[in-house]
Amino acid sequence: MALIKSVRGFTPQIGEDCFLAENATVVGDVIMGEGCSVWFNTVLRGDVNSIRIGNHVNIQDGSVLHTLYEKSTVEIGDYVSIGHNVTVHGAKIENYALIGMGAILLDYAVVGEGAIVAAGALVLSNTIIPPYTLWAGVPAKMIKNVEPSQTNEMNRKIAHNYAMYAGWYKEEDSL
């Protein structure tokens, strides 16, 4: 079972039908919606400020979500996919966005709906990524606009696949 720990009077609230890997860590002021998956070695550290996660979000292996003390917060919309080894520090990610493996999002950055942050990108503090755009690089820069229908199909497929993957683990646990 995942490590779910209260701190400073805050106890994480986990929505219905969520999968938390055995070695995931969820601490403090974290509120997670329904149907989410938090994968192996992931840390959601709501000890110094709040982390709010929508419905059907997948936060993949080795990712870390954290904030600045009494300043920045993490806000994640619905059907967001956060790739392996991503750091989200005090940023906002809107619905159906995709954050590629190893990306770093710093305080007060905003990733718009359906946007894609490429693997390994560094999104600097206060960067505003418009909806339906692709950003890549260090520091991240806009590469191009993406067709909403194209990004929606890809981002939705990934988000929905992770719900299926989580179901595999729930089946194993019930045997």
pLDDT at 153: 86
Q: Give the residue ranges of DSSP H helices in the chain.
A: 148-174
Does the domain made of 3-174 have the CATH classification 3.30.2020.30? no
pLDDT at 172: 64
Can you give the residue ranges of every domain in the chain?
3-174
List the 19-20 sheet strands across, edge first: 19-20, 37-38, 58-59, 81-82, 98-99, 116-117, 133-136, 141-145
Which amino acid type is present at position 105? L
pLDDT at 152: 83
Q: What does each of the 175 residues of the chain score in pLDDT, given as a tens digit?
A: 899 999 999 999 999 999 999 999 999 999 999 999 999 999 999 999 999 999 999 999 999 999 999 999 999 999 999 999 999 999 999 999 999 999 999 999 999 999 999 999 999 999 999 999 999 999 999 999 999 988 888 888 998 899 999 999 876 665 4
Backbone angles phi, psi at 158, to 5 degrees: -65, -50
